[in-house]
Chain A
Amino acid sequence: MSYVGLLHFDYADNSKQVNLAIRYYFCHLLLNRPVCYFLLHKEIERCATPPKTLDDSLHDLSDLETWVFESSRNCLHNALLIVACLRSHPQLIGWYQAQYLIACYAIVLQMQLQQPTAFGDSEDADFTLDSIESLLEGVKVQTTQSRWTIDMLRNVRRNLNAASPLSTLRPTPGSALTTPNTLGS
Chain B
Amino acid sequence: MARHASIGYPEEDGAFKRVPMPSFHTSACHKLYQYWPRLRINLSLDGFDPLQFQRQCDEADHSLEQNLAEAAEATVRSHLIEEYIQRLYHQTNLVPQTIIYLLQMTSTYSLQTALSQIPVRKSDEDMGYIKLSDLSLTLLLLLSVAFHYLTPDPSTDYGTTASSWKCFQLALTRLWTVHSQAEDFMLNSKLMVAVQLQIIYGRPFHAIGLLRQVGLSLSSTWTRSRLSLGPASFIAKMHFLMESDLLSEIDGQPTADTNQLFFDTSGNVNGSQTQFPLYTAAPEQQAPLFLDQTLWLRLCQNRILMTIYMINNSYSNPRFVGRPISDFTSELEFWYRSLPIELQFPRTIAAYGLLTHIIPSYKVCRTLVCFISTMLTIPNR
A residues whose Cβ falls under 8 Å from a Cβ of B = 1, 5-9, 11-21, 23-28, 30-35, 37-38, 40-41, 44-45, 49, 55, 58-59, 64-65, 67-68, 71, 77, 80-81, 84-85, 91-92, 94-96, 98-100, 102-103, 106, 109-110, 120-123, 140-141, 143-146, 148-149, 151-152, 155-156, 159-160, 163, 171-177, 179-184
Partner of A160, one of B42, B321, B359: B42
User: What CA separation (Å) do A156 and B45 show in the bound complex?
Assistant: 9
A148 adjacent to B318 (CB under 8 Å): no
B328: Cβ under 8 A from any A Cβ = yes
Partner of B53, one of A7, A55, A91, A148: A148
B residues whose Cβ falls under 8 Å from a Cβ of A = 1, 3, 5, 27-30, 32-33, 36-39, 42-50, 52-54, 56-61, 63, 92-97, 100, 148-149, 161, 165, 198-204, 245-246, 248-249, 290, 293-294, 297-298, 300-301, 304-305, 308-309, 315-319, 321-322, 324-325, 328-329, 332, 336, 339, 342-343, 345-359, 362, 365-366
User: What CA separation (Å) do A77 and B304 show in the bound complex?
Assistant: 19
- Residues in A neighbouring B297, C-beta threshold 8 A: 20, 23-24, 27
Partner of A59, one of B52, B161, B317, B348: B317
- Residues in B neighbouring A41, C-beta threshold 8 A: 36-38
- Residues in B neighbouring A140, C-beta threshold 8 A: 148, 161, 200
- Residues in A neighbouring B329, C-beta threshold 8 A: 28, 31
B42 adjacent to A24 (CB under 8 Å): no
Provided the pairs A34-B308, A172-B44, A174-B45 are in contact, do residues A98 and B202 lie with their beta carbons within 8 angstroms? yes
- Residues in B neighbouring A151, C-beta threshold 8 A: 45, 48
A143 adjacent to B63 (CB under 8 Å): yes
User: What CA separation (Å) do A140 and B147 show in the bound complex?
Assistant: 12
Query: From residue B97, how far is it (CB to closest CB) to chain A in Å?
Result: 4
User: What CA separation (Å) do A38 and B148 show in the bound complex?
Assistant: 42
Query: From residue B34, how far is it (CB to closest CB) to chain A in Å?
Result: 11
User: What CA separation (Å) do A89 and B291 show in the bound complex?
Assistant: 20
10 contacts between A and B (CB under 8 A): A5-B365, A27-B304, A35-B321, A40-B38, A64-B318, A71-B318, A122-B356, A141-B201, A180-B57, A184-B60
B293 adjacent to A20 (CB under 8 Å): yes
A15 adjacent to B42 (CB under 8 Å): no
- Residues in A neighbouring B366, C-beta threshold 8 A: 5
Partner of B316, one of A15, A34, A109: A34
Partner of B94, one of A7, A23, A28, A91: A91
A96 adjacent to B354 (CB under 8 Å): no
B202 adjacent to A31 (CB under 8 Å): no
Partner of A159, one of B42, B322, B350: B42
Provided the pairs A19-B294, A106-B32 are in contact, do residues A44 and B45 lie with their beta carbons within 8 angstroms? no
- Residues in B neighbouring A40, C-beta threshold 8 A: 36, 38
Nearest first, the 5 A-B pairs at minimum CB distance are A94-B199, A179-B47, A145-B57, A103-B29, A183-B60
Query: From residue A139, how far is it (CB to closest CB) to chain B in Å?
Result: 8
- Residues in A neighbouring B165, C-beta threshold 8 A: 141
User: What CA separation (Å) do A109 and B61 show in the bound complex?
Assistant: 30
Provided the pairs A21-B345, A45-B315 are in contact, do residues A9 and B149 lie with their beta carbons within 8 angstroms? no
